[in-house]
Amino acid sequence: MATIASSFHEAGVILKDRGLDIDAKKIAEIVKRYARRAELIKEKTGIEITETLAGCRVIISTDGGRIRIRKNKRGPKTSKGRNRYTTKWREPKLIIIYKVNEQGERERTFLPFIEGTMKGPDAAFGLIKYYLSRLEISKAFKILFVADGARWIWNRIPALVKELGIASKQFYSLVDFYHAVEHLVKIADLKTGWKNSEKKSWVKKHRRLLLNGKVDQVLSSVLSICKGRKSKKIRSERDYFVRNQKRMRYDLVSANGLPIGSGAMESAIRRVVNLRLKGASIYWLEDTAEAMLLLRSFYKSGRWDMLKKQVYSTACCMVV
């Protein structure tokens, strides 16, 4: 109920209506203990996974959301005896692994693996490695890693591929097409002297070139526009295309029955993070946020029963 409801308080109200009177603080404590038990099993004995990705078209993605973490300040308390605190924005990392059919559409019979962490990029890639190694990823037919252009993602991909024993002929890395188009729009907007109609025409033309695999032509045009410009913004957009040109083969990826966008990842961020952990005047203690990310991920991926089995397993009693 704490995972489904919009707050611990709301969960308490619903539970009270059903005859179970537990306050919000106690519910938060139960949530943390429940998640900790699940983590202990993962660390000590591993999650029991019966599925395999052998012979499948597999999509892997990761991205970050935004939530506010509350930390107490040092020094005197308020006149009411309360701790002063800060509420800085932090970026939880989320991962998703799912299968698609020959048309690049998600296979509904396979529940995705979704999980999140507050512990940073290395922890997120640790989750990806953990699940893929148990799903026999090296036996997959085609594998696509698709994400936005964040460096923390792409700098870690080569090591991940090597550690999992994935062959280069079965693996594709791709910058989300719609993010790439957004950067085309930014370049057009930074071009001085163009009318709106000229900007739209330029974006439309180069969007089509990207789809048709003409990445070299797009990069040449981008470099031409940016040549001689010293603006930090224009240099940043130029560097984006230079850095990611090998990850923009949308024609090749599409021809292999794989999607060219990371819409599933964007949807997961919205459902797992934005609709539960992010909002006006919502602040989290870091350990509670970590616990809720785990529970919410399993619930929204349709794997709540797997989590419950994990928490209540005999092995869990042994490690606890």
**What CATH number does the domain containing 289 carry?**
3.30.420
Q: Is residue 287 part of a domain?
A: yes
Q: Can you give the pLDDT at residue 81?
A: 81
Whether residue 294 sits in one domain with residue 195:
no
Position 297 in a domain: yes
For tokens 């295309």, name the residue.
Answer: 241
pLDDT at 317: 54
CA atoms of 104 and 85, how far apart (whole Å): 47
Residues 79, 136 share a domain: yes
149 and 277: one domain?
yes
Amino acid at 188: A
pLDDT given for residue 129 in this prediction: 97
pLDDT at position 315 is 60
| 67 plus 198 within the same structural domain | no
Q: How many domains does the chain have?
A: 2
Q: How far apart are CA 288 and CA 7, in angstroms?
A: 12
User: Residues 169, 183: one domain?
Assistant: no
In this structure, the answer to whether residues 152 and 286 fall within a common structural domain is yes
The per-residue pLDDT for 229 is 74
| Structure confidence at residue 74 (pLDDT) | 84
In this prediction, residue 192 carries a pLDDT of 84
Q: Which residues in the chain show pLDDT less than 50?
A: none
Same domain assignment for residues 219 and 272: no
In a domain, 230, yes or no: yes
For residue range 31-66, list pLDDT tens digits in order.
999 999 999 988 888 888 999 999 999 999 999 999
Last residue of a domain, one of 247, 280, 304: 247
Measuring CA to CA, how many Å separate 32 from each of 127, 238, 315? Answer: 19, 45, 19
Among 165, 131, 9, smallest CA distance to 60 is for 131
Q: Is residue 227 part of a domain?
A: yes
Q: Are residues 165 and 298 in the same domain?
A: yes
Where a domain ends, among 247, 274, 291?
247
Residue range(s) defining the domain that contains residue 60: 46-174+261-319
